[in-house]
Structure 1
Amino acid sequence: MTDPTTAGQPVPFTHVVEDTLRVSDLDFQRHMGNTAFTQVFANARFAFLSDEVRPIVGFDVILALVKLDVEFKGQVHYPAVLRTGTRLEKVGRTSMTLLQEMSVDGRVVATSRSVFVHTDRASGKSIPWPDAVHELASPVLAETAAVPS
């Protein structure tokens, strides 16, 4: 999976999960319902954060989802296997943006961009990301910077 919007060149997604479309994900037209898209994206975000970010920051902090954008690009019909790629798009001082792409048989059906804020559980205030989280984004940012415009 690649993100065709980054400097006009594909940047690979670093984390990919597969889901099988369930009957409960369907609307009356046997299409995947809009809320099911958001649930599949949520599962993939959870897997990415569990595998990549939680080992660094632990569970004493809150990863607060503060923004979620979903762009629907195509229909999904039952049965289907959904592949969802997730990668860090950028890491700021206290916020982090994830980019996701969902595809079926190589066809992009939806994209998502989400923003998380690293939050102290006791005070509820945002706190800086550790350097190791910034380093998770470094390979993607370095590859993006290396692409000629």
Structure 2
Amino acid sequence: MGRSQETFSKKENAKKRQQKKREKEQRREEKRQAAASNKGKSLDDMLAYVDEYGNITTTPPDPKKLKPVSADEIMISTPKLEDIEDAGGMRTGRVAFYNESKGYGFINDGMTGERIFFHVNDLTEPIAEDDRIEFNIVKGQRGPQAADIKKIS
């Protein structure tokens, strides 16, 4: 008698394929049932609201707590450093980082909070990290750069 052409591993693989096919069909049927149950929902059931703290809820907000907002008050973006007008020319800030050996550093602008690059050639007197300073902003090779830097006592 001849040996069977079907080996044990072939039989196991065929069983696994059949099992996957049954599971896939079962998942598909569950999705169909879920979609059919959602068809009856109204628009009000599907709406979500945001409360005064920014949390998503299913209840509408209380009209007594609504605050009027003017469209002019809404800021879409933050103005860039070049767009801000200089009022008086000099700005104040703090030295955030200064490397004496390499001759450069960064200033945290007190008005905008931006970090501005400076070079040792732009210093009018010696400074150290965390000193309060006054400076002007000029356009450098890679963007805004501080110039005429003076220490504030």
TM bin, normalised by shorter chain, reads under 0.3
Higher relative contact order (CA 8 A, sep 6+): 1
TM-score (norm 2): 0.25
Whose strand proportion is higher, 1 or 2? 1
